[in-house]
Chains A and B, each alone.
Chain A
Amino acid sequence: MIGNDPLFLLIFGLMGTFLLRAVGVIGAGHMEQDSPLFRWIGCVAFAIAAGIMAKILLVPSGVLAEAPIISRLGGAAVGLLIFFAIGRRIHWGLGGGLLAFLLIGQLPIH
Chain B
Amino acid sequence: MEKPDTSAVLMGFRDCVIAPGWGVFAAMAGFGAIAGEAGETLWRSLVIMAGLWSMPGQVAFVELSAEGVLGWTLIIAVTVANMRMLPLTLASIPLLRDKPGITIRQFWLAQINSVTSFVLLTDAAGRISDRRRLNRYFEGFCLGTLVLGAAGTIIGHTLAGQLPVQGVRALIFVTPLYLLLLTGRTRDSMMLGAAVFGCIFVPIAHRWSADWGVILGGFIAGTLAFVVFESRRKQ
Contact = CB atoms under 8 A, between A and B. Distances in A.
Interface residues on A, range: 35 or more
A20 B181 CA distance: 28
B150 interface: no
Contact of A51 (B74, B85, B193, B203): B203
A70 to B, nearest CB: 13
A15 to B, nearest CB: 8
A54 B200 CA distance: 8
A10 B94 CA distance: 30
B42 to A, nearest CB: 14
Interface string A23-52: 111111101110010111111111111111
Given A20-B86, A54-B180, A66 B215 contact: no
A63 B172 contact: yes
B41 to A, nearest CB: 10
B198 interface: yes
Interface in B194-222: 194-203, 206-207, 214-215, 217-219, 221-222
Top 9 A-B pairs ranked by shortest CB distance?
A51-B202, A24-B89, A47-B198, A44-B222, A48-B218, A51-B198, A28-B93, A16-B79, A50-B195
Given A24-B86, A24-B89, A45-B118, 19 more contacts: A2-B75, A9-B75, A17-B54, A20-B89, A43-B226, A45-B218, A46-B183, A47-B202, A47-B225, A48-B198, A50-B183, A50-B199, A52-B214, A58-B203, A59-B203, A79-B181, A80-B180, A90-B181, A101-B170
Interface of B: 19, 30, 44, 47-48, 51-54, 57, 61, 65, 68, 70-72, 74-76, 78-79, 82-95, 97, 101-102, 106-107, 110-111, 113, 115, 118-119, 122, 165, 168-170, 172-186, 190-191, 193-203, 206-207, 214-215, 217-219, 221-223, 225-226, 230
